[in-house]
Structure 1
Amino acid sequence: MRINHNIAALNTYRQLNSASTAQSKSMEKLSSGLRINRAGDDAAGLAISEKMRGQIRGLDQAARNSQDGISLIQTAEGALNETHSILQRMRELAVQSSNDTNTSKDRKELQKEVDQLSQELGRIGNTTEFNTQKLLDGSFEGTFHIGANENQNLSLSVNDMRGFSLGVAGKASFTDTATYTAGTTETSDDLKAGTFTVKEDSGTYYLVDNSGKNVASSADGLTYNTLKADGTASTDGTIVFNHEVKSGQVTYDGTNVKGTSEVTNGGLQAGKYTVETDGSGGAFTLKDSGGNTVGSSADGMTFKNVDGDTLFTTTNVQMLTNGAEISVGGIDISSSKSANSAITTINNALETVSAERSKLGSYQNRLEHTINNLGTSSENLTAAESRIRDVDMAKEMMNQTKNSILSQAAQAMLAQANQQPQGVLQLLR
C-alpha cells in the first residue's frame, strides 16, 4: 500500500477536470448561442464564418444603397412629372396663339404666361436636389454601389432638363438707349414722342407708330432715319443705337430713345440677369435674380459660363454698362408663324422629358429587382453562416447534461479515492 502517491485520486482528479472543462464550454455555448466563441473552438470555421459575415453585411448595405438610389430617382422623376405638365400647358398656349382669331395684344398676354412657365422650368431644374445634390441641371453623374464587393455598381446620369436645354427658352434681350438727332429745322418729319413697334420687311427694319404708319427705317437695326409722309427717306432725324434693335418696341419721350436689343441665347435660362462690374470696368459678371454668378466677361460684350461656353455676345462693338439688365423669356409665340413653329419645338421637348422619365423608371425597376436578389443572397448566406457559427442547442444541452453527470460522478469517486490511504492505519493497530 502506498500513501505518497494516490494514483486512483490523481486519475479521478484528471477526469474531474476534464468533465468540468467540457461542462464549462457547453455552458458558454448555451449561454451565447454560438458554437464558435473563440478561434480555439474552430479556427477554420471562424475564418470562413467571418468572411461570410463580411459578405452578409455588405449585401445588406448594398440593399440599403439600392433603396437610396430608388429614392433619388423618384425625386428626379417626380420633378419631371411637373416639367411634363408645364410643357403641355406651353404647347396648349402655342396652339392657341397660332390661331389668327387672336390679336397682337392677345398674343402678348399668352407670351407672358409662356415666359413664366419657362422660368419655372429653370427653377425646377436648379432647385431639385437629393441630399444637397442637384439632379436636373445636367451635373448629376452618380454611381450606386449595389453589391457586397469591389466594382459591383451601377452608374446613372441625368440630363439637363431645364428650359434652355429643352429648347423653350427665348433670346436674351436688354434695353438699349439711343441718341436721336433732329434735323436742322423742325419739320413734320421729325420723330414725335410715343411708342413704336419694330417690324421687318424684306431685310429693312421699320418703326411703326400706333396708327400703323412707318416713321423711320434702318438697314442694319442700328441707325434709323425718319421717313417723310410718303414713306421716302428724310434727313430730319436720325436714331443711332449702340446695339441692333430689330424687334420689340421703341419708346421716345421727347428726350431719350429706348429700344430692345436681342442677342442669341447660348445657355441662359428664362429669367432676369444683371451685369455688374468691379468698378474699374475691367471685369464684368452676370448674376441671376438670386445673386448667383452665372457668367463673366472681360470686355462687357462676350459673356461665358464657368465651362467657357459663350452665353451671348452683344452686337456692335459696345460694352454693356454696370447695372444693365438682361431678360430671357420663354419660347416665342408672339406671332402666328412663331407660335406654329413653337408647337414642334415643344413636342420635341416633351419627347425628351418622356425619354428621360422612361430611363429613370427603368433604372428604378432594375434596382427593385436588385434589392430582391440581394435579400435572397443575404438570407441564404446567413443560413450557411449559421450552420458554421451557431450552436445546436438540443445537442449541446445533451452534452452539457452528460458532462454535468460525469463531473458529479468524478467528485464522488475523488472522495472515495481520498479515503483509500487511510487503510494503512489499520496496520498500526
Structure 2
Amino acid sequence: MAMVVKNNMSAVSTLNTLNKNSAALAKSLQKVSSGMKINSAADDASGYAISERMRVQIRGLDQANQNTQNGSSMMKVAEGAVSSTVDILKTLKEKAINAANDTNTDSDRQTIQKELNQSIDQIDDNANVTYNGKYLVDGSKNSAGNATFTALSNESLGKDTKASDKLTALTKRNGDALEIQSTDYVTVSYVQGGKTYSTQFQVGDKTLQDVFNAAEDIDKDSKIFADAKNASVMKAMGIADVTAAQKKMDDADTAAYGAKVQAKIADGSLELSAAINGTDGKGADLDGAAKTAVDAVTADVVKGIAAYNDAQTDASKKIDTAALKDYGTFDKTAGALKTGLTNQQKLDFIAALKKDANYESLAADNTNGKAAKDAVTAYDTFMTAKAASDNAHIAVVDSKTIGLAASNDKVETADGEKAITITANAPGIKGQIAGFNISVTDSEGNTRKSINAALDDWRETIRAQNKSDDNAVSFQVGTNANQNIKVGLTDMRSEALGLKGADGTKLNISTQNKANAAVNVLDNALQKALDQQTTIGSVESRLSYTSSNLTTASENVQSSESTIRDADMAKEMTEYTKNNVLLQAAQSMLAQANQSSSSVLSLLQ
C-alpha cells in the first residue's frame, strides 16, 4: 500500500461509518425517548399514515362517547320532568275518584278543584324544563309530522258492531250480548278544551249512531266530532283519493240541498231560502232550477217589503231601507237587492232586516209584510232543521284501520280486527277530544257495570298532535356523518294532555258527573305521559349501550394503533446499546486512522 498524506482513505471510510453509527444511534435514542418506533413519515411512510388515521378515529370515538354521555344527561333531565308529571297525574286521578264520590259536598269538590288547578299549572312548569337553554318537552322538539286527529276506539264491542246497530242488540268482543234494555238510560260525556259536555236519554230503539249524534248535539256550533268527509276518516275507510271523494260528497250534498229548496218553494213552506244564504251551507252556489227559483223569490220578498213601506202613512212604522242600504245590498231606487251579491251580503241583508225596530210589526200591519216575515221564519226553521241534519252525520269507522298517524301511515287496531272508532273533527291539540264516556243505568238509576265495562272502553288510539317540522333532538354518536340517534320529544303541556283548553279552562271536577268524566281524561293523559317516558327511557338505554360500544371500539383501535406505532422498549434498548458501542468503536478507529499518516514523517527525517 502506497504511503500518502493528501487522501487518508482509511480515515474517510471510518468517518462514514462513524456518521452512519451516529445516525442510527440518534434514531434509537429518539425511539427510546419517545416510546414510539415511528416518529415521522420518514420512519415508515405507510405505517405513519395508517397510524394517523387511527388516531383521528380514536379522537372521534372519544368525542362521540362524550356526546353520548351528554345526550344521556339531557334525557335524564327530560325523564325527570316527565316522571314528575306522571306522579302528578297519579295524584290527580286519585283526586278525581275522590271527587266522584257523593260523600263530598260541592264545597269539598271546590276545594279539590283548587288543588287540581295548581297541579295542572305544575305540569306546565314541568314541560318548560330546559337543558343548556333548550326546552325539551314543551312540543318544540317534535319529530316531523302532519297534524293528527284524536281517534278513540272501542275494541271491547263485538267485531262486527256497526254504528247502525241498535243499543239493545250490541254484543261484547266474545259475542255475548250486552243486554242493554230499552228502559235503560244512557249518559254521554266528553271533555274538549278543558270543558265537560254531557247529555242523557232513554235507550228505546236508539242506535249506536244516535249516541254519538247526541254527543254532537250538545254543542252543534263547535262541530267537535268528524263527519264522513274528514280526511283521516276517509283514509281509515280505505278511500285513496280523498280530494276527489270529498268533492263528490259536496256535489251530492249540493244536489240534495237544492232538491229540498225546490220542494219547499213548490209547496209554499219556504219563500226565502237562498235569498238569505243562497248556498248549500258550504259556500258553493246552487245551480239550475234551484238558483232560478231563489232569484225569483228574492225579488218578490224585497218587493213585499217595499209595498209594506208604501202602505204606511206613519213613517215611524216603516222599515228603514236606508239602514239596509248601509250593508251595500239594498237598492232603494229600484226597491230590490243589488245584483251580484255574495252569500254573506245576503246574510247581512236579512240580519239587518230582523234588527229593524218594525220587523215584528210586519205581519200585523200588512199582507205583504206578513209574507216577508213568514219567509224569514220559514227560512230560519228550514236552516235549523238542516243544521240538525248535518250534525247527524258523525263518522263512525267500523274497520281495523283507525286513521292516519303523523307520518301519514295508517294506524290499525292492536288485534288487527274491526273496532268502532270516532274521530275529532279538527286536527291538532286544539281539536282533541280528551276523554269520552258512555254510562248505562237502569230505570231506577243503578249503574249497569257489566255493560259499561265494554261500552265505556274508549281508548285513545291516535293522539292529537300539531303539524311539526323535524325538530327532533339528534345525538352524534359516531365518527362519520349521519351516525346519530334521533328522538322526538312530544308535548307534555297540560293542554296537550287534554287537561286544559287554549283559553285556560281547566279540567273540572265540581260535580259528580264531571268528576266521573275526568277519570277517563286523566287515564288518557297518563297514557300519553307514560308513552313519552317509555320513549325517553328506551333512548337512555340505547345511549348507554352506545357509550359502551364506543368505549370498546376506541380501546380496540388504540390497541391496533399501538401495534403499529409503539416501540418495543427491550428491543429498542438492545438496538440503542449496539449503536452506542459501534459509535464508540468508530470514534476509536477514526483516531487510529488519523494517526496512520504520521508514519510518513519518518521518511522526511
Q: TM-score range by the shorter chain?
A: 0.5 to 0.7
Go from structure 1 to structure 2 and tell me whether the alpha carbon gap of 1:120 and 1:329 turns closer, same or farther (over 3 Å shift): farther
RMSD: 1.1
2:537 maps to a residue whose letter is G
Map 1:96-245 onto structure 2 (within 5 A): 96-126=98-128, 128-140=129-141, 141-169=472-500
SS in 1 for 2:138: coil
Offset of residue 32 of structure 1: 1.2
Matched, 1:342 2:518: yes
- Find the aligned partners of 1:402 and 1:333 in 2 and give their Cα distance: 93
Count of aligned residue pairs for this structure pair: 273
Cross-structure match for 1:318 = none
The counterpart of 1:90, out of the listed 67, 89, 92, is 92
1:111–1:332 contact (8 Å) kept in structure 2: yes
- 1:208 maps to what in 2? none
Are 1:376 and 2:552 counterparts? Answer: yes
CA distance in 1, matches of 2:137, 2:602: 104
Name the residue aligned to 1:20: 22
- 1:395 and 1:143 map into 2 onto residues whose CA distance is 48
Residue 52 (structure 1) aligned to one of 51, 54, 60:
54
Match status 1:353 vs 2:354: no
State whether residues 167 and 345 of structure 1, in contact with CA within 8 Å, keep that contact through their aligned partners in structure 2: yes
Pick aligned residue for 1:29 from 28, 31, 41:
31
What residue ranges of structure 2 are gaps of 5+ in the alignment? 142-471
Q: What residue is the counterpart of 1:425 in the other structure? A: 601
Residue 41 of structure 1: aligned partner: 43
Q: Secondary structure at the match of 1:166?
A: coil
Residue in structure 2 matching 1:411, options 571, 587, 594: 587
Q: Which one of the candidate residues 331, 348, 352 is aligned to 2:507? A: 331
CA–CA distance in 2 between the matches of 1:427 and 1:102?
136
Query: Residue type of the partner of 1:129?
Result: T
Quick one: distance in 1 between partners of 2:492 and 2:599?
103
- Assess if the C-alpha contact under 8 Å between 1:142 and 1:156 holds in 2: yes
- The one-letter code sitting in structure 1 at the alignment partner of 2:136 is L
- Partner secondary structure for residue 330 of structure 1: coil
Q: TM-score, normalised by structure 1?
A: 0.62
CA separation in 1, counterparts of 2:604 and 2:66?
A: 84
Which residue, out of 3, 6, 10, partners 1:4? 6
Query: How far 1:330 moved relative to its partner?
Result: 2.7
The Cα of 1:384 is off from its aligned counterpart by: 0.7
Residue 568 of structure 2: aligned partner: 392
SS in structure 1 of the partner of residue 496 of structure 2 = helix
Contiguous gaps of at least 5 residues in structure 1:
170-264, 269-327
**TM-superposed deviation, 1:329:** 4.4
Opposite residue 546 of structure 2, the aligned amino acid is T
Cα deviation 1:356-414 (Å, max 9, x = unaligned): 11111111111111111111110010011111111111111111111110011111111
- Given that 1:111 and 1:330 are in contact with CA atoms closer than 8 Å, whether structure 2 keeps it comes out as no
Larger helix proportion of the pair: 2
- Between the aligned residues of both structures, percent identity stands at 46
TM-score, normalised to structure 2, is: 0.44
- Of Structure 1 and Structure 2, the greater strand share is in 1
Contact 1:3 1:421 in 2 (8 A): yes
Partners of 2:559 and 2:16 lie apart in 1 by 39
Residue 426 of structure 1: CA displacement? 2.2
Measured in 2, the distance between the counterparts of 1:358 and 1:422 equals 95
Task: Return the offset for 1:427.
Answer: 2.1
Query: What is the rounded CA distance, in whole Å, between the counterparts of 1:25 and 1:102 in structure 2?
Result: 92
Q: Kindly provide the CA deviation profile for residues 176-204 of structure 1, in whole angstroms up to 9, marking residues without a partner as x.
A: xxxxxxxxxxxxxxxxxxxxxxxxxxxxx
- 2:5 alignment partner, SS class: coil
